[in-house]
Amino acid sequence: MRELTQKDSKVEVTGTEAKYYDTLMNIITLGTYPSFIKRAIKDLNLTKGESILDLGCGTGRNDCIMLKYIGEEGSIAGVEIGKEMKEKFLENCDKPNIKLIDKRIDEPLDLDRKFDLVFISFVLHGFIQEKREIIIENAKKALKSGGRFSVLDYNEFDVDNSGFFTRFAIRKIECPLAEDFINRDWKSILGKSGFSKFEEKFYFKKKVRLLTAMK
Ligand SMILES: C[S@@+](CC[C@H](N)C(=O)[O-])C[C@H]1O[C@@H](n2cnc3c(N)ncnc32)[C@H](O)[C@@H]1O
């Protein structure tokens, strides 16, 4: 396989796709996205008062759900660069304890506070490995000691031996970086970056995983 570059990525969502991103996700997943994401966020085991950093927060759909668990005493900071995504986020998350940080997550990120949880949902697969490592480093730096890093993204699986729909989605709809992500051992990668105590939850017939590790 040829060497992948960041130009192969589709992770920067803009224009019409960004404006209708949540609806598109509902359609692509045949209407199952709302119940899936509610379940995945429940599986984060959030508690009242926690602080969350959401890397590549998109429209803020996930943040609105997370807010129900952390309450008014908790807080969320979403990091995002997409113009339309930022507009949607501000529209959807107009709450005093949710703020938007207009910065890139794939460059060293200096934040003025630490968080209980760093969450990244369907973002990490869209970067070349070098940039994924910068993002992981950003997550580690932003966490309190004992804080959790939760990656909601594709699980590791054998794409060749998957059903037609999965192969089509990964090889024709997704960017090539997604298959590269699927082929890597993420517990080992996060372990080498200093994370431990892994917990996993699976969705969509184990094609999607919520991988949580502790700093
Ligand atoms: C596939 S969407 C996922 C959005 C959201 N996390 C979700 O699960 O609905 C990827 C998001 O990451 C944002 N993004 C891509 N590259 C980024 C970067 N370098 N820095 C910050 N955000 C980025 C995109 O604009 C987009 O909103």
Residue 20 has pLDDT above 70, yes or no: yes
- The domains of the chain are located at 6-214
| Nearest Cα residue to atom 23 of ligand 1 | 56
Distance 85 CA to ligand 1 centre (A): 8
7, 12, 177, best to mutate for ligand 1 pocket (most atoms within 8 Å of CB): 12
Tally of CB atoms within 10 A around 53: 28
Six-digit token pair at 193? 């970056």
Q: What is the mean pLDDT of the chain?
A: 96
The answer, as to whether pTM is greater than 0.85, is: yes
| pLDDT 10s digits, 170-199 | 999 999 999 999 999 999 999 999 999 999
| pLDDT 10s digits, 191-202 | 999 999 999 999
Superfamily covering domain 6-214: Vaccinia Virus protein VP39 (3.40.50.150)
6, 64, 81, 104, best to mutate for ligand 1 pocket (most atoms within 8 Å of CB): 81
- CB burial of 67-101 (b: ≥16 within 10 Å; e: otherwise) equals bebbeeebbbbbbbbbebbbebbeebbeeeebebb
| pLDDT 10s digits, 80-106 | 999 999 999 999 999 999 999 999 999
Query: Which pLDDT belongs to residue 1?
Result: 66
> What percent of the chain stands above pLDDT 70?
100
Distance 55 CA to ligand 1 centre (A): 7
Tally of CB atoms within 10 A around 207: 18
